[in-house]
Chains A and B, each alone.
Chain A
Amino acid sequence: MSAASIPSMRSGRATPRDAVPRLEPEAFRQWVTDAPSAHKRVAALFGAPAEGERVELFAVLASDEEGLLHAASTVLVGDTFSSMTPDCPQVHLFEREIAETWGVVPEGHPWFKPVRFVRSGRPGRDAWNRTEAPVVGVMDFYRVEGDEVHEVAVGPVHAGVIEPGHFRFQCHGENVFHLEISLGYQHRGVERALLSGPTKRTIPYMETLAGDTTIGHTLAYCQVVEALGSARVPARAHALRGIALELERLANHVGNLGALAGDVGFLPTASFCGRLRGDFLNLTAMICGNRFGRALVRPGGANFDIDRERCTLMQERLRAALHDVKTSVELLWNSASVGARFEGTGTVSREVAEALGLVGVAARACGLERDVRHDHPSGIFRLAHIPVSVWHTGDVFARAYVRWLEIQRSCAFIEEQLRALPQGAVRGPSGPSDALGPNRLCVSLVEGWRGEICHVALTDDAGKFSTYKVIDPSFHNWTGLAMALREQQISDFPLCNKSFDLSYCGHDL
């Protein structure tokens, strides 16, 4: 089959696996590497076991302008394939992940290193020919040589209350030539455990993939099983899920602006926003009792409903919180000392953002209009449109300012939803059937607060997950942070890091 005839699909819809074309390796390579010039993005690229102990690669390309997705696969011949990274940099980490998981080598990969330091899923085959179990953080780090060059290594245990990761800077005085980020410390084996599911533990896995994105990941999963299990979700549940998703965004964005203020020593906003973040978390807790939205989103709908009185109370608290956020955040934009630290720091150009396939706030701060809620809407976002918030400077200021724009728009969206919640139940008369459709492929996209969350499920003959791939927005964006640090002062690392605000466990899974 040629690449020209690859059928399109939509987010949150199941496709028979037969309908996903299997290309020859060379055609597959061409199709993927042509993606950027065809105005497509690589949303997912992963391996799955195929007949005869071989590995089948699947790619999902997103055509944002059309709101369409395209999936195709190829079966690898032998244990190597020709790396696509030199022609299409946005697949660089996907190829490293495939190599690590399946023990196949992408030949010609320019940055061929482990991702999570785990054993290969195919015993006896290791892409680096290691015989011992891999040790986390042990790899060939990029090094700049020279008399006046020095290296700074930070982590895995950091100074703050934060997840672990290892960062290595090549510095010339204060100036950073290059930052290499080595993760994997948080690897819990989620994707492996999801196989043969769903089980009773699947939902807790989703809720803790990245615990600060409970709603985002659980929603992406629910869309998968609802599509595979042919469930109808009531309108009221769609609205509640939308509200929860935006509350999650609000809490994290507000907390982030406070933390950015803290990183430049601007304490008023730091302390105000620290408290206000909790106000948004508490709004989520008003719905479901848990500040992170645990147990709220469930396949087929939502677990909790809110009555009129609670609706009104939530509206009042939301308005009060937004008012306080406004006074607190506007201090940032009116303080010259903050502007001096935010503007021109950690700049990522639009070209780099596009080449790396950045998503979410990091992409929108470079002027890329990428937002799943707009491009691939599902649930309530098919009916209620939130404008895409964009800024063009690509620096810390842009990432902060995009957050501020999104805070205002999310609040307006929640207000609107709370004012006119659809009537009816929050769970349909029948949830998704226990037996999911066999031999299907389903791609589900959700715009989490960090960016595009992509879940891809493949089911086997019995309707169980034979592959479940999770792509947290952080997976795309960590390299963006490394690029932002080039030619910056090393002392600006905390600020740049916070401005991306990426997930470690979402990356490590």
Chain B
Amino acid sequence: MLKLLVARFQQGHRTAGYPDEPPSLPDRFRGGPALDSSKCPLGCRECIGACPTDALRSDGDGLALDMGRCLFCTECLQACPHGAIALTQEYRLATRKREDLVVRERVEPHSNVLDEKLRKLFGRSLKLRQVSAGGCNGCESDVNVLGTIVFDIGRFGIQMVASPRHADGLLITGPVTENMKLALKKTYDAVPAPKIVIAVGACAISGGPYVDHPEVHNGADAVVPVDLYVPGCPPHPFTILDGLLGLLGRLESHPSWAERFRETAQRVEAENLAEQLRWGVPRAEEAAKYLGGGIEGSAAKPEEREKAGRPETGA
């Protein structure tokens, strides 16, 4: 018993301060994209050809990246000789509409709050049943960690429950295999209405790397209506948590949030210099330029960020 107490004492307090404090992300974290089509020479399709899931396309309005398909790998970054694509530290990527996942310039966090009736119903208590329908255990693992003491979703009233009949909605991962289609549909039907569906990860949104395989159905919305899309391969736990809290309207009500995040934005952008390790100096400079006029510029113009109405962490 004494050993237990000593161990408990040594382990300390480990719950992340988020959302009161900014999330701790790895400095090489690959988050939301920033595109600059003006850099693309006419007819250049290097990035489009390199993308394993055809997430990139080019049309009259320039480049567009579908985060619902994107694996956040490095293929397009390495293929582009002109520095037109960067992946930023932006982790707030969830959207309520599928089409909002298509980024043209720079990823912008969306307001994802449920409509008033549902928010009142679920805002303080949301029980979810997780269904893996062909998921690779990447997304499943990063959903699972939300229950650990670091993320502790219990403190927000969110809980993963054992039965769909106890649940307010489903959290789906995986491209929805043919062999899981029926089970997924039955699980959905077993959840009492009103219910919500959250699709986590590129597979559950679009099929991910398995898109258009005859063995899969290209994501959850082929079988059930989806209320929130959380992109990533897999999404960082903070991306999932941000999506869930945004849905429940738990972020907007946070007065200190915007203020505190501005500081992180500056810190993280400064740390973006570490990008040099990855892409070499020219690429890192390019990346920094997309993040609001370079590192010095972004630090010098906090009031502009305020005006934008959203706190900035994206660096």
Contact = CB atoms under 8 A, between A and B. Distances in A.
A294 interface: yes
- B8, B29, B74 — most chain A CB neighbours (10 Å): B74
B132 interface: yes
B145 interface: yes
Contacts of A295: 30, 73-74
A327 to B, nearest CB: 5
Interface in A289-343: 289-292, 294-295, 303-307, 310, 324, 327-328, 330-331, 334
Interface stretch (B105-113, B213-221, B255-263): B213-221
B183 A185 contact: yes
B10 interface: yes
A289 B3 contact: no
A162 B140 contact: yes
Nearest to A156: B183
A285 interface: yes
B93 interface: no
Given A162-B132, A271-B149, A275-B149, A305 B139 contact: no
Contact of A278 (B129, B150, B187): B150
B260 to A, nearest CB: 22
A209 interface: yes
Nearest to B7: A327
A363 to B, nearest CB: 22
A114 to B, nearest CB: 11
Nearest to A166: B183
Given A188-B175, A193-B213, A201-B209, A274 B138 contact: no
A304 B11 CA distance: 32
Contact of A268 (B7, B28, B72, B160): B7
B75 interface: yes
Contacts of B80: none
Interface stretch (B45-53, B60-68, B284-292): B45-53
Interface string A122-162: 00000000000000100000000000000000001101111
Contacts of B174: 186
B175 to A, nearest CB: 7
A164 B216 CA distance: 15
Contacts of A163: 132, 135, 137, 140
Contact of B7 (A287, A292, A306, A331): A331
A184 B162 CA distance: 22
- B50, B132, B234 — most chain A CB neighbours (10 Å): B132
Interface in B1-20: 3-4, 6-8, 10-11, 14
Contact of B3 (A184, A324, A331, A508): A331
Contacts of B27: 286
Interface string A61-87: 000000000000000000000000000
A328 B135 CA distance: 30
A210 B136 contact: yes
Nearest to A117: B179
A477 interface: no
A205 interface: yes
Contacts of A161: 130, 132, 140, 143-144, 147, 160
Given A268-B7, A275-B149, A188 B213 contact: yes
Nearest to B164: A157
Q: What is the interface of chain A mostly: helix, strand, loop, or mixed?
A: loop
Given A203-B52, A294-B233, A327-B7, A275 B73 contact: no
Contacts of B145: 274, 277-278
A407 interface: no
Given A159-B163, A278-B145, A324 B11 contact: yes
Given A186-B180, A272-B7, A327-B11, A208 B149 contact: no
B270 to A, nearest CB: 15
Contacts of B214: 189
B28 A304 contact: yes
A330 B6 CA distance: 12
Contact of B74 (A205, A208, A303, A327): A303
B269 to A, nearest CB: 16
A505 B183 contact: no
Interface string A194-211: 000000110111001111
Interface residues of A, number: 64
Contacts of A305: 277
Contacts of A324: 10-11
A118 B135 CA distance: 18
A205 B179 contact: no
B: contact size bracket: 35 or more
A499 interface: no
B133 interface: yes
Contact of A307 (B53, B142, B236, B277): B277
A306 B175 CA distance: 34
A398 interface: no
A271 B142 CA distance: 16
A445 B265 CA distance: 44
A214 interface: yes
A368 B99 CA distance: 54
A503 interface: yes
Contact of B134 (A118, A157, A278, A505): A505
A208 B136 contact: yes
A220 B50 CA distance: 23
Interface in A171-188: 184-188
B131 interface: yes
Contact of B179 (A186, A208, A210): A186
A505 B177 CA distance: 11
Given A204-B209, A274-B149, A188 B215 contact: yes
Contacts of A504: 137
A189 B135 contact: no
Nearest to B207: A188
A459 interface: no
Contacts of A257: none
Contact of A200 (B52, B148, B233): B52
B180 A164 contact: yes
Interface in A200-237: 200-201, 203-205, 208-212, 214
A439 B229 CA distance: 45
Interface string B166-203: 00000000110111100100010000000000000001
Contact of A331 (B4, B73, B162, B178): B4
Contacts of B233: 204, 208, 294
A282 interface: yes
Interface string A96-126: 0000000000000000000011100000000
Contact of A157 (B147, B177, B179, B183): B183
Contacts of B183: 156-157, 164, 185
A356 interface: no
Contacts of A290: 30, 72
A295 B131 CA distance: 26
Interface in A465-509: 503-505, 508
A505 B175 CA distance: 12
B209 to A, nearest CB: 4
A288 interface: yes
Query: 5 tightest A-B contacts by CB?
Result: A211-B138, A211-B136, A289-B28, A159-B162, A274-B148
19 contacts: A159-B162, A159-B163, A164-B132, A185-B134, A186-B180, A187-B177, A187-B178, A203-B52, A204-B73, A204-B208, A211-B135, A212-B137, A271-B149, A277-B145, A285-B28, A285-B29, A286-B28, A290-B72, A324-B10
